[in-house]
Structure 1
Amino acid sequence: MPKVLSPAQIEGFWKDGYVAPIRAISTEQAASIRAKLEAFERTIGGPLSGSLRGRSHLLFTWLNDLIREERIVDAIEDLYGENILCWASSFFIKEAEDPSFVSWHQDSTYWGLSSPDVVTAWVALSESNKANGALEVVPGTHLQDQIPHRDTFSKNNMLTRGQEVAVDVDPKSAVMLELEPGEMSLHHVRLIHGSAPNPSKRRRIGFAIRYMPTSVRQLEGEDSASLVRGIDTYRTFEHEPIPSRDMDPVAVEFHRKQHERSVKILYKGVKVPA
């Protein structure tokens, strides 16, 4: 029997490639996490940027707790079973009046994983709506195979290579996933999705957590993941340490090593831009 998702939501995920909105954490928890993020940003003198936005759960205890949040992992279990890895996490933060955007793409393009059995839990830490560039998805496109992408390396594109699907996407076919703080959406790794810039006066803060069953393998190099439920009999990923405190030197060093591995995988075949 499902733990969080209804049978209709589970059916909808496999049919349409997404389900939303789902209450992941309370509004109070979301506000607390946002406050901790912004307190850290004050210590570094500006918005979180660069490698700090990726796999941030390795650096901050409150994000490591979030990737293990029972209700979130229960929803993943409803889709993929009880042996679950968190493979990665990413902050998607659009500042007020920010020209940054996310082009139409499939997540699976450069990840190097052995199968498309991956789901993203996109957790809203602020309101995410039409006014500030909420996530949009094209229902059913996850049923297609991997679509060719072109790299743009566009300055304002938030994706690693500025990648975009090399096919036309009808924006009228897209569905906007508006979320309140503490709500999440789930989307399939092959679902075409993207988001527009944030012309509003408020930040839009989302934290994307990538989950997959332990049977998935990395084909393009050494990699790590966090076991968040069940057992890992495959052991094809190095298991990640849990930070003992925020920005613990051991955690920072592991994060640096893993970032270098990830860069090699994500930029395979192209020169990393300066």
Structure 2
Amino acid sequence: MQRDFKMIPEGDELDSIERDLRFYPSEVTDPQRLSREQVEGYNRDGYVKPVPIFSQEEIDDIRSYFDELLERVIAAGGDSYSISTAHLKYGRVYDLLTDERIVAVVKDLLGDDVVGWGSHFFCKMPHDGKSVAWHQDASYWPLTPTRAVTVWLAIDDADTENACMRFIRGSHHYGHMTYRPSSSTEHNVLNQTIDNVEQYGDPVDDELKAGEMSVHSDLLLHGSEANESDRRRCGLTLRYAAAEVHAHLGWNEKGVLVSGSDPRGHWANPPRPAND
């Protein structure tokens, strides 16, 4: 029976876990997919963008699949943000999580032994009024140490007009930051807000064409405004960690070994779902 994972653990659950919340720079000296300059940029700035992955034909097919999936989810009572831990439910999302072109980029940042453990569509419909407040992914994840990254794959073109993601360059070097619970007036898709982020660095727009992706550290400050345009903005977040990372609260059950080995046997490495 498939376990239902909470996307956001309760604060006291995470507070009770001893975690190493320091940034670990990439030690890869001979990257295979990225350039050395891109790896150095990730260590310095906390992100790499844009990285072309899929052809126009491929991303058009992925978008058609997502459109059908979203229609089914909404018909079942969900919304455009509720398709999470999708690789445990849908075979084609599992295929994206394990796609060798995406994994090759992640290996250049995390090393050869990598697990993919998260997959969540963030789909901002036109004029939906919802933002994603400034936050760090590490604040939500019961992982230690923080050797984890998020891939943001653009399903639609993402730009400033339709509220692309934004980074605070270099903010991953400040460690784990204090946040406050988001207020209802913020219309935040998540539930945490970090204030006065400009003190940590310069904001950078993560503009991507459909089929391109960015990668950012789990300690990098990021967020996005509400989509006030007439265009949808959908992206698939894929979460990866070095296999040595320990996952609490049973989150190791989500982890698929996508490269190398897991000598501890910590990650469950579930098979591809049979559907799709």
- Band the TM-score falls in, shorter-chain normalisation: 0.7 to 0.9
Taking the aligned partners of 2:151 and 2:225, their CA distance within structure 1 comes to: 19
Query: Are positions 1:99 and 2:148 aligned together?
Result: no
| Paired letter, 1:179 | L
CA deviation vs aligned residue, 1:120-143 (integer Å, no higher than 9, x gap): 110000000000000100011101
Query: C-alpha root-mean-square deviation of aligned residues, in Å?
Result: 2.0
Please tell me the residue identity of whatever aligns with 2:146.
P
Identity rate, percent: 34
Give unpaired runs (5+ residues) of structure 2: 1-29
- SS at the partner of 2:54? coil
Could you tell me which of 126, 133, 143 is aligned with 2:173?
A: 143
If the length of structure 2 is used for normalisation, what is the TM-score? 0.83
| Offset at residue 222 of structure 1 (A) | 5.2
Pair 199,44 (structure 1): closer, same or farther in 2 beyond 3 Å: same
SS at match of 2:51: strand
What does residue 156 of structure 1 align with?
187
- 119 and 175 in structure 1: CA distance in 2 versus 1, 3 angstrom threshold: same
Whole-Å Cα distance in 2 between the matches of residues 201 and 88 of structure 1? Answer: 29
Match of 2:96 among 66, 69, 77: 66
Distance of 1:208 and 1:79 partners within structure 2: 17
Whether the 8 Å CA contact 2:80–2:122 is kept in 1: the answer is no
Alignment coverage as a number of residue pairs: 243
Contact kept in structure 1, 2:166 and 2:205, CA below 8 Å: yes
Conservation of the 8 A alpha-carbon contact between 2:80 and 2:121: no
Q: Which 10-residue stretch deviates more, 67-76 or 47-56?
A: 47-56
Runs of 4+ in 1 over 4 A off after TM superposition: 44-48
Please say if residues 73 and 83 of structure 2, whose CA atoms lie closer than 8 Å, have aligned partners that are also in contact: no
Give the secondary structure class of the aligned counterpart of 1:72: helix
The amino acid that maps onto 2:97 is I
Displacement of 1:183: 0.2
Give the TM-score, by structure 1 length: 0.83
Is 1:177 aligned with 2:212?
no
Aligned to 1:268: none
Deviation at 1:48, TM superposition (A): 5.5
Q: Give SS of 1:239's match.
A: coil
Name the residue aligned to 1:22.
51
Structure 2 partner of 1:190: 219
1:179-258 alignment runs, 5 A limit: 179-221=208-250, 223-224=252-253, 225-246=255-276
* Cα displacement (A) at 1:52: 4.6
Q: Which runs of 5+ in 1 are unaligned?
A: 247-274
